[in-house]
């Protein structure tokens, strides 16, 4: 089993919080996903920030396609993991 980390990119904090809550409930996650603000390159204005929902998947049980589908329903996407 390999530890995995999934990063969902969402348009704003409210949406990120909603997705975080949804994921925790839907998948019965042991830990609440982390939220992080990610300013777009060259942008200082908080309005131009994306929000990241970071899900630790210690047992690699979560389906990336399903996570991407959930993110898309909320106007976001699943970031590709460059380490794989």
Please tell me the total count of domains within the chain: 1
In this predicted structure, what is the pLDDT of residue 46?
Answer: 55
Residue 19 maps to which CATH number? Answer: 3.30.70.3450
Residue 41 lies in a domain: yes
Residue 72 lies in a domain: yes
Q: Tell me the whole-structure pTM to 2 decimals.
A: 0.84
Question: How do residues 20-77 score in pLDDT, each as one tens digit?
Answer: 999 999 999 988 999 999 876 555 555 568 999 999 998 889 999 999 999 999 999 9
Residue 43 lies in a domain: yes
Instruction: With a cut of 50, say whether residue 84 has pLDDT above it.
Output: no
Residue 84 lies in a domain: no
Residue 69 lies in a domain: yes
Instruction: With a cut of 80, say whether residue 1 has pLDDT above it.
Output: no
Which residues constitute the domain of residue 56? 4-79
Residue 38 lies in a domain: yes
| Helices 13-27 and 64-73, packing angle to 10 deg | 140
Instruction: With a cut of 70, say whether residue 2 has pLDDT above it.
Output: no
Q: Which comes out higher in pLDDT, residue 55 or 4? A: 55
Residue 26 lies in a domain: yes
In this predicted structure, what is the pLDDT of residue 5?
Answer: 93
Residue 36 lies in a domain: yes
């Amino acid at each position: 089993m390999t530890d995995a980390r999934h990063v969902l990119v969402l348009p704003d904090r409210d949406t990120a919080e909603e997705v975080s809550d949804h994921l925790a409930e839907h998948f019965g996650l042991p830990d609440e996903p982390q939220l992080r603000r990610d300013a777009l390159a060259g942008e200082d204005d908080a309005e131009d920030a994306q929000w990241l929902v970071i899900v630790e998947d210690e047992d690699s049980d979560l389906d990336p396609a399903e996570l991407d589908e959930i993110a898309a329903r909320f106007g976001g996407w699943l970031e590709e993991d460059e380490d794989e």
